[in-house]
Amino acid sequence: MIERPETAVPSIAQRNLEGYVGFANLPNQVYRKSVKRGFEFTLMVVGESGLGKSTLINSLFLTDLYSKDYPGPSQRIKKTVQVEQSKVLIKEGGVQLTLTIVDTPGFGDAVDNSNCWQPVINYIDSKCEDFLNAESRVNRRSMPDNRVHCCLYFIAPSGHGLKPLDIEFMKRLHDKVNVIPLIAKADTLTPEECQLFKKQIMKEIQEHKIKIYEFPDTEDDEDNKLIRKIKEKMPLAVVGSNVVIEVNGKKVRGRQYPWGVAEVENGEHCDFTVLRNMLIRTHMQDLKDVTNNFHYENYRSKKLAAVTCNGVDTAKTKGQLTKSPLAQMEEERREHVMKMKKMEAEMEQVFEMKVKEKKQKLKDSEAELERRHEQMKRNLEAQYKELEEKKRVFDDEKLHWEAQQRILEQQKLDASKTMEKNKKKGKIF
Amino acid sequence: MSESAKPHHPSPQGKGEKTHASDFSYVGIDAILEQMRRKAMKQGFELNIMVVGQSGLGKSTLMNTLFKSKVSRKSVQPNPEERIPKTIEIKSISHDIEEKGVRMKLTVIDTPGFGDHINNENCWQPIMKFINDQYETYLQEEININRKKRIPDSRVHCCIYFIPPTGHCLRPLDVEFMRRLSKVVNIVPVIAKADTLTLEERDFFKQTIREELRANGIDVYPQKEFDEDADDRMINDKIREMIPFAVVGSDQEYQVNGKRILGRKTKWGTIEVENIGHCEFAYLRDLLIRTHMQNIKDITGSIHYETYRVRRLNESNAHFKSQPSDQPAVQPKANGQPEVKPSAPQANGVAAKHEVMSHEM
């Protein structure tokens, strides 16, 4: 029996159900809907060239994003820092993931690396701005989320500590994106060196007050234990490889050296499995949430605060951070109209150009035809002249022949006359 | 005067006895080798090696491994500070080491701070200045009127440049540095921490580096133009096909197959430093110490130093010619007797060259 509360209860009281209602099925519905929708994830990799970023990405997602035919950006040394993104659609178990990998070739490679982080910051801000604009629209049916959810920063395995460049970069990006520092090419370090190095790095990170991504505590004790273990291993020392080697009859992915095989998925050799599990299997959604709730909100409040501060009445605009829907619609309509006008102008231009082209073509073909006509006429005239010539010759011949015939006839006549004469005379014979 | 030059005969006496009966024409000129050897052993040798590279590439460890003792800067400092200095410092540590009666004064010159900053523009300048300063010191000693019997040689004989094992190609910083310094000092490039690369990656990387060196006109040791004869060229060609050496350094010993060897122990295997199948440390050591040490010193003395000297004397000559009233830049530090040298630099040059050669002994 459900008891009706006597007083207005500020907190929600828990009730026990007496039968099966069925809302335990809600997670399944959510699950089915998300599966249909598909997921998006944007991962950024930053580090000097030659630290194995492309190899690690290939190993993490078991695809050849960067292969020999399409060499990764790191194969060529760039003059300035570029930001390149590649999109890949991966399917597994009916779940679709649109994975965007953002690479930063040229980072830290030049002699003078001041401000090499600027292109990276610009990229992240521009993606946040796109999202902000999409969010502020009136019609927001489709909002693609291209914000950078996670940034893997590769630290060179010097064994000593962080470089000034590492510290600068992380300090500038830790409040814009989730930064996860990794020790690259960890098979350079022996286990003792690795431990020392990790401690040194964490000390320096705390010294400089860099906020790297922190794993959230869950209510589950089991999970908490795992999370604490992961925290102790930070920063993760990774080795990447997509080459399959046979070790003791087992096929493993690893790197073959003359002195042994460094296995990528062996927890004792490196922390790759930890990274993969954390990044993909357990904390992907959390990374997206932190990006949305924390980094993006930071950006948004900063951006909008800047806008409102420029306004005259800051008190009045407190409740009008965004304009009223009508004004917004007006603006959108104006934008739309302008866009249309521009498109129209462009189309007209294109049309003009095409017309000109066609005219030119027609003129050309006309000239061509004329030329041919002329040529044919001349041909014909030449032939005509030839024929005339032939006819003349023929006429001449004919006359000549007729004259000859007449002479012949005359001769014949004469001959016959003389014959007759002779015949008459012949009677005498 | 290389350590491997054993005299052909155990003692001139013995040779004399042996040939006394058979060879009247034996004069005994080759006994000079023995005399030279004894003299060299008494005098001892000097070697100055400079190590250049980013921090964390294993320079100190490699020095310790090369000379099998703690000769690096970090081993000598009581409290090794790991911080990166704001400007590039040049730290020079000298040790006297001895082996089988042969004494050597080894100086390791370290350059902490090279290539570690965000803006590494002109980071090679302090190093070039240091090298030129050493040449200058030697030059000043040489043109002294009363000079010492044996001028202390602090010139940098060899500069080992550490290339980070990216596996792709040389970085702009590497190219810039090597281009400028290959003209003043012998550069031996090595691939640091070579246990990062598999054998195929190593070969590919070496090929790329060699091509880039050729494309940029960088002449590293052993330089092609200084090969003296066909034998030299053959040996050096073999070496040139192997540079840059992929090295791994270690000063810790481990037990492998019952033997104690230097190496690095990881969970998937132990890397043996002196095993040619694992890394090329043995080749580097042979080149630097066992076979080409004297050649390195000769080239430094007779070519790099002479180039510097000619340039300096020409400079002071020009200076003198333009300002005859002023005192010339090059002033020998004699007993308060300034002498005007540049009037006949050519003759001086030739004379001094011979004397330098004799001093090299």
Band (A69; pLDDT cuts 50, 70, 90): very low
**B175-226 residue pLDDT tens:** 989 999 988 999 999 999 988 888 888 999 999 999 999 999 888 888 877 7
- Give me Rg for the CA atoms of chain A: 45
Question: Is residue B95 scored above 50 in pLDDT?
Answer: yes
State the pLDDT at residue B81: 54
Say if residue A143's pLDDT is above 90: no
Three-state SS string across A78-118, please?
Answer: CCCCCCEEEEEEEEECCEEEEEEEEECCCCCCCCECCCCCH
Count of C-beta atoms within a 10 Å radius of residue B208: 15
* Third-level CATH fold of A28-307: Rossmann fold (3.40.50)
A145: contact with B, CB 8 A cutoff: no
Whether A158 and B55 lie within 8 Å, measured CB to CB:
yes
The pLDDT of residue A227 = 79
Going along B8-149, which residue ranges are E strands? 45-52, 91-99, 102-110
| Tokens read off for B353 | 């060259």
User: pLDDT digit string (tens) for B143-172?
Assistant: 888 887 788 888 999 999 999 998 888 888
Q: Nearest residue on chain A to B271, judged by CA atoms?
A: A259
Interchain proximity A164–B118, CB inside 8 Å: yes
Contacts of B27 (CB under 8 A, 6+ apart): none
CB A86 within 8 A of CB A301: no
Name the residue ranges covered by the structural domains of chain A.
Answer: 28-307
Residue A214, token pair as written in the block: 């922190």
| A56 φ/ψ angles, rounded to the nearest 5 degrees | -65, -40
**Which residues in chain A have their CB less than 8 angstroms from residue B199's CB?**
257-258
| B56·A160 Cβ contact <8 A | yes
Q: Does A121 touch chain B (CB under 8 A)?
A: no
**Residue A429 reports pLDDT greater than 80:** no
In order, the DSSP letters of A288-321 are HHHIIIIIHHHHHHHHHHHHHHHSS-TTGGGS-S
Question: For all residues of chain A together, what is the average pLDDT?
Answer: 83
pLDDT mean over B113-117: 85
Percent of chain B having pLDDT more than 90? 13
Question: What pLDDT shows up at residue A318?
Answer: 43
- Give the distance, in angstroms, between the CA of residue A145 and the centroid of all CA atoms in the same chain: 15
Provide the token pair at B62: 């490699």
Phi-psi region of A22 (alpha: psi -120 to 50; beta: other; left: phi over 0): left
Domain B34-73+85-250+276-315 is of which CATH architecture?
3-Layer(aba) Sandwich (3.40)
CA-to-CA distance for B176 and A111, rounded, in angstroms?
Answer: 9
Query: Mutate which of B82, B117, B124, B166 to disrupt the A interface (most A C-beta within 10 Å)?
Result: B166
Q: What is the CA radius of gyration of chain B?
A: 23
**Which chain B residue has the Cα nearest residue A270?**
B267
* A216, A217, A219, A225: CA torsion to nearest 10: 120
Locate tokens 């050799």: which residue?
A269
Model confidence at B7, pLDDT cuts 50, 70, 90, reads: very low
Q: How far is Cα A169 from Cα A162, in angstroms, rounded to an integer?
A: 11
Query: Given this model, what pLDDT does residue A401 score?
Result: 94
In terms of CA atoms, which chain B residue is nearest residue A157? B56
- Taking the CA of residue B192 and the nearest CA in chain A, the distance in Å comes to 11
Residue A378 burial (10 A CB sphere; 0-12, 13-18, 19+): exposed
Taking CB atoms and an 8 Å cutoff, what residues of chain B touch A171? Answer: none
pLDDT one-digit tens code per residue, B269-315 = 888 888 888 888 888 888 888 888 888 888 888 889 998 999 888 98
List the structure tokens of A149. Answer: 């959810």
pLDDT for A84 equals 84
pLDDT at B337: 40
Distant-in-sequence, close-in-space partners of A214: CB < 8 Å, separation ≥ 6 = A231
Q: How confident is the model at residue B243 (pLDDT cuts 50, 70, 90)?
A: confident
Check pLDDT > 60 for residue B335: no
Instruction: Report how many Cβ contacts below 8 Å link chain A to chain B.
Output: 105
How far B57 CA sits from the closest chain A CA (Å)? 6
Token couple for A350: 């294109």
More confident residue, B72 or A127: A127
Residue A211 DSSP one-character state: -
Task: Average the pLDDT over A263-288 and give the result.
Answer: 85
Residue-level pLDDT at A399: 94
Sequence-ordered strand ranges (E) for A370-428: none
